[in-house]
């Protein structure tokens, strides 16, 4: 995955949100490539801490990995980290469109204030490289597809999207003031093993597995540019490599699959894989949900050599096999 630099051994990457879905996959991959990884997580109770501990199981004892449990929202919390850091991959933050509508202040704190603390830490410690996890949510209901990075993103429709756009702007101010090299990576509906339990694919697979009805918001025509986690992580690693090799950098790239899948199709693919007929509970569209996401990935391809490999159906098959194995392990543990 990516091009391994001859200088990798000397490089240490700080991964925020290392116990999360994407962060744990990234940490595992960086370690396999020979990087040293400093992991940070606050074990936010948004979902089970036990699941986050499981996410880290494959690498938490790696000698090249060191973990700090700290809250990025607290000023000065990063000062306990004394290691020399070459680059920060900032993946931590509150996710979720619908919860952000109910509690917008927590997204301002966990996303905007935490990112400011990261940037201040970088400026204080002389860390020059930042790969920042943004979101396709910043595009809102833009009618022009596929989404390109030069499109206007002033019309966000959720506090979550607002917080991510705000971070992108904040990043630019620190790039300008302190000559930090930064790339904002806009993720498009990442899925795969370890996916958060609140996200649609994980939730739907569990419901189908238990023969329970699936809530389908709207008529099923909404679409998402589902991107398999291995492809997203490959894009993050390539972003890090680009940042290591270049200076005076500020850029924004889409890391998607460039192939939207309708909600109704997603349900059909999962049901077919599970060999069941899904029970659909059709509900009204929810506030804050965008109608579709669709990434133009030509800029990421040209800039960092990004090229997603895993088709949606294959990714679903991998996820369901992981889910079944996990369920079998849970049942075995209870016997």
Domain residues for 47?
Answer: 10-189+229-256+295-308
Query: In a 3-state reduction of DSSP, which class is residue 46?
Result: coil
- Higher-confidence residue: 333 or 76? 76
Q: Determine, yes or no, domain membership for 199.
A: no
Q: Determine, yes or no, domain membership for 69.
A: yes
Instruction: Give catalytic residues, as residue numbers.
Output: 160
Asked if residues 236 and 276 have their Cβ atoms less than 8 Å apart, the reply is no
State how far Cα 175 lies from the chain centre.
Answer: 22
- What contacts 148, CB < 8 A, 6 or more positions away? 254, 296, 299
Q: Determine, yes or no, domain membership for 241.
A: yes
- pLDDT higher than threshold 90 for residue 70: yes
Residue 46: per-residue pLDDT: 79
pLDDT digits (tens, 9 = 90+) for 200-227: 999 999 999 888 999 999 899 999 999 9
Domains held by the chain: number:
1
Please report which confidence band the pLDDT of residue 128 belongs to, taking 50, 70 and 90 as the band edges. very high
Within the chain, residue ranges assigned H as helices are 21-32, 49-55, 97-102, 104-107, 114-125, 159-178, 200-209, 229-245, 263-274, 298-304, 312-334
What is the rounded average pLDDT of the residues 78-97?
Answer: 95
What is the rounded average pLDDT of the residues 152-171?
Answer: 97
The CATH number linked to 167 is: 3.40.50.720
Asked if residues 222 and 266 have their Cβ atoms less than 8 Å apart, the reply is no
pTM of the model: 0.94
- pLDDT higher than threshold 50 for residue 152: yes
What is the rounded average pLDDT of the residues 100-126?
Answer: 96
């Amino acid at each position: 995955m990516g091009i391994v630099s001859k200088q990798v051994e000397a490089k240490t990457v700080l991964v925020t949100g290392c116990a999360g879905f994407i962060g744990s996959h990234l940490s595992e991959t960086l370690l396999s490539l020979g990087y040293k990884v400093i992991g940070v997580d606050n074990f936010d109770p948004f979902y089970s801490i036990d699941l986050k501990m499981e996410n880290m199981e494959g690498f938490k004892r790696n000698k090249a990995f060191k973990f700090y449990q700290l809250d990025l929202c607290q000023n000065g919390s990063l000062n306990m980290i004394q290691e020399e850091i070459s680059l920060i991959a900032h993946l931590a933050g509150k996710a979720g469109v619908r919860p952000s509508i109910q509690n917008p202040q927590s997204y301002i704190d966990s996303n905007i204030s935490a990112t400011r603390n990261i940037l201040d830490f970088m400026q204080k410690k002389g860390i020059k490289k930042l790969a920042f996890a943004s979101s396709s949510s910043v595009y809102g209901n833009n009618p022009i597809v596929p989404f390109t990075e030069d499109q206007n993103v002033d019309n966000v429709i959720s506090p979550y999207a607002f917080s991510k756009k705000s971070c992108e702007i904040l990043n630019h101010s620190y790039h300008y003031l302190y000559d930090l090299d930064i790339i904002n990576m806009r993720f498009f509906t990442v899925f795969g093993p370890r996916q958060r339990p609140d996200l649609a694919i994980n939730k739907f697979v569990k419901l189908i597995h238990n023969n329970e009805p699936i809530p389908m918001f709207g008529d099923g025509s909404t679409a998402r540019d589902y991107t398999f986690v291995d492809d997203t992580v490959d894009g993050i690693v390539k972003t890090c490599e680009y940042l290591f090799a270049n200076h005076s950098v500020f850029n924004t790239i889409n890391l998607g699959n460039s192939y939207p899948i309708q909600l109704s199709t997603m349900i059909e693919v999962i049901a077919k894989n599970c060999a069941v007929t899904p029970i659909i509970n059709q509900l009204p569209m929810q506030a804050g949900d965008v109608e579709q996401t669709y990434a133009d990935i030509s800029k990421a391809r040209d800039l960092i050599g990004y090229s997603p490999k895993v088709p949606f159906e294959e990714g679903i098959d991998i996820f369901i096999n992981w889910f079944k194995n996990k369920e079998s392990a849970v049942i075995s543990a209870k016997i």
